[in-house]
Amino acid sequence: HSAQHASSLGPCLAAVKAFKTLLAKEGYLAPCKVDSLDILEDKISASLKQILPNEVINPAENAKDADSALIFLCYPLEVVDDEMGGKILERLKTCIGDIAMCRYRKDSYWC
């Protein structure tokens, strides 16, 4: 389906940032146009800002307001600030069951 998942975009953003850091540290040239990584980082960041703290917002039939995979955007990926991290954690309270945490509400995993 064509939905953008915040939990999938976050790792892409972290990878772009890490790659840019490596290039700068080692003095390497990116195998692309000079501004490609900056454009990619900006576009992914903009998409995340539209979606978060949700997991999916479009299309509406695939919308999810919480997904436990979003926790990785807080740590170890560190692609969200503390305020957004708090909003994500608040949403994840809906995923807590009696004995465990499910991936998202209405997940078939028994918890």
pLDDT at res. 1: 66
CB 6 within 8 A of CB 62: no
pLDDT at res. 102: 86
pLDDT at res. 83: 98
- Give me the amino acid identity at 12: C
Whether pTM exceeds 0.75:
yes
21 Cβ partners below 8 Å, 6+ apart? none
Residue from 74, 75, 57, 66 nearest 93 by CA: 66
pLDDT profile of the chain (111 residues), mean per 10: 92 98 96 96 98 96 94 97 98 88 77 62
**Residue whose tokens read 């994840």:** 92
CA distances from 111 to 64, 66, 69, 91 (A): 19, 16, 16, 17
What burial letters (b/e) apply to 36-68, b meaning 16+ CB within 10 Å? ebeebbeebeeebeebbbbbbbeeeeeebebbb
Token digits of residue 91: 């949403």
pLDDT at res. 63: 94
Residue 47, classed as helix, strand or coil, is: helix
